[in-house]
Amino acid sequence: MTRASSFLFFLLCTSALLLSPLEVSAKKRSVDGKKLSPITSKTLAERDLLDFRVKNRALLREGDRYNEDVSKHFLEGTTLAYVTPWNGKGYDWAKTFGQKWDLVSPVWFQVRRDTSIGGEHDVDAGWMGDVRRMSKNNAKIVPRFMLDGWDQEGLVTLAREPKQVLAKKIGKNIRRVIDEHKLDGYVLEILNSIGGLMPQLSDEVMRAIATIQKSVQSSGKGTPVISVLVIPPYRNQGWSFGASHFDEMERHFDYFSLMTYDYSNAYNPGPNAPLQWMYQSVTSLLQNTPEKDKEGRKRKAAKILLGLNFYGNEYTMSSRGQGRSLLSHDFLSLLQSCTSTKGDRLEYDAESAENFLVCRTNSGVTHSYYPTPRSISERVNAAKKLGTGISIWEIGQGLNSFADTL
């Protein structure tokens, strides 16, 4: 290699180090024949992205760009960001916007029926180091642990065992993984798997969950680690994780990741997370704490992480049960190809505080509910009013402009 070529190689390497992970991985998009950088100096308002009925053109041009100041953090409460191994964009987001996170949860681990832990092959120590460095050591790594392969008999045994042997083993094995991989804590997702035992075994399930947590904290090095319990949202039918369950569990866990999304589905199409339902999901957890106990309500609310979806759904309105999930690239493609029945702007449903796109396709009219910077901002403001934090499922699924709301 000549001296000139060596110098050129040095310049290329140096410039690459100065770019953010997202800037390196993102390709410049072409809009109206012009190449656009993923980074901008303009605010969301200056890019016309906070309009109630935002223009398709504004989203196509500015929706996947983010402000150059990635250090801004608009929420006082705790922010948890989920990352999935199958979505590389989320790994880049975790690093680029590291200063916006308090907790980062890669969904790496499965708790098997024999209580062993699967998924350790997904652990990426280098990436964890990058996240901590780029967050200036603010972000804590708290991977998710989820039950996998448990049949009904196993779940009943887990809940009913008098000596809680299985629950203690699960906690001990989780703690081994935490200590070996130098993690800061964990997220426990168990109620989605074990919810079928409710309400008949409600007390037993809560006891098993508390036992797992106690075992995690007392095993291994025995030093406290951050703990997060995933909980379902309010439902007016069937079993709900209510105020009595929350009051019992909040003595054991640091935070609660509230799954306030998936309100609708292909058989009942509509908004992903109506704003009033999100408010109700939080206030229902606090209803046993009197209004006059302001400090108690404030302390408990701060433990709740209001769930925000960064994905959306498209529904074919004439075909019951027909729909699909939407990620950012799907939504941008829809905006480009859509033959809209409503002009060049998204619709805004004031009742749910969500935008949706109405398109005419060969298979019929579709309604696509996907977050916008406006709808995300409204939910961040709701968290501020409620005194909660937020949890995001998941950061690799959203438009880059969503980062400017956080």
Which region among 29-33, 82-86, 329-333, 396-400 has the lowest average model confidence (pLDDT)?
29-33
Between 14 and 324, name the one with better pLDDT: 324
Q: Which residues partner with 361 through β-bridges?
A: 364
The reported pLDDT for the residue numbered 156 is 95
Cα 103–chain centre separation: 11
**Span 188-201, pLDDT tens digits:** 999 989 878 888 89
Residue 225 reports pLDDT greater than 60: yes
Instruction: List pLDDT tens digits, range 34-84.
Output: 678 999 999 999 999 999 999 999 999 999 999 999 998 889 999 999 999
Q: What is the pLDDT of residues 131-185, one digit of tens each?
A: 999 999 999 999 999 999 999 999 999 999 999 999 999 999 999 999 999 999 9
C-alpha 49: how far from chain center: 22
Identify which has the larger pLDDT, 228 or 320. 228
Q: Does 15 score more than 70 pLDDT?
A: no
Pure H helices in 135-251: 152-160, 165-180, 191-194, 202-218, 243-249
pLDDT of residue 406: 96
pTM of the model: 0.93
pLDDT at 20 over 80: no
Please say if the pLDDT value at position 353 is more than 70.
yes
Q: Is the pLDDT of residue 29 over 70?
A: no
